[in-house]
């Protein structure tokens, strides 16, 4: 049972336009969400996070939106740059469970075309 779903395996966007990566989750106990970015031959790196008490968090060109009623979050990248081409993983955690176990989605490969 996949608790964190990224239904789009890949996404292509023109440079300068907006990239929107989506993520859905099923576990209502999740209360903290993160996005990680991964380049080939490197480990994932943290990008941005959001707590369930918020519905938006912004960091430069990156904004994460959380819709708790729909159990949906999205990552917006504006404007998209070729260096943003990578695999993006959505992850969720329920720290109230007394442990720290991130559940990851399968990833979305973003290609930004110059």
Partner 1 sequence: EAQVTQNPRYLITVTGKKLTVTCSQNMNHEYMSWYRQDPGLGLRQIYYSMNVEVTDKGDVPEGYKVSRKEKRNFPLILESPSPNQTSLYFCASSRWVGGASGELFFGEGSRLTVL
Q: What x/- string results for residues 12 through 41 when contact with partner 1 is judged by CB under 8 A?
A: --------------------x-x-x----x
Q: Is 106 in the site for partner 1 (CB under 8 A)?
A: yes
Kindly state the tokens that stand for 94.
């329920």
Of the candidates 1, 26, 20, the residue with the CA atom closest to the CA atom of residue 92: 26
Question: Could you give the angle at the alpha carbon of 108 between the alpha carbons of 17 and 65, nearest 5°?
Answer: 65
Q: Is 105 in the site for partner 1 (CB under 8 A)?
A: yes
Residues of the shown chain interacting with partner 1 in the complex, contacts defined by CB under 8 A: 6, 9, 32, 34, 36, 41-46, 49, 89, 91, 93, 95-96, 99-107
């Amino acid at each position: 049972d996949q608790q964190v779903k990224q239904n789009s395996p890949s996404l292509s966007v023109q440079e300068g336009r907006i990239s929107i990566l989506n993520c859905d989750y099923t576990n209502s106990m999740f209360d903290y969400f993160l996005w990680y970015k991964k380049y080939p031959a490197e480990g994932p790196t943290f990008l941005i996070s959001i707590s369930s008490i918020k519905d938006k968090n912004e960091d430069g060109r990156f904004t994460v939106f959380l819709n708790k009623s729909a159990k949906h979050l999205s990552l917006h990248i504006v404007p998209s740059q070729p260096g943003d081409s990578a695999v993006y993983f959505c992850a969720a955690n329920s720290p109230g469970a007394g442990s720290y176990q991130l559940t990851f989605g399968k990833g979305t490969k973003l290609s930004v075309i110059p």
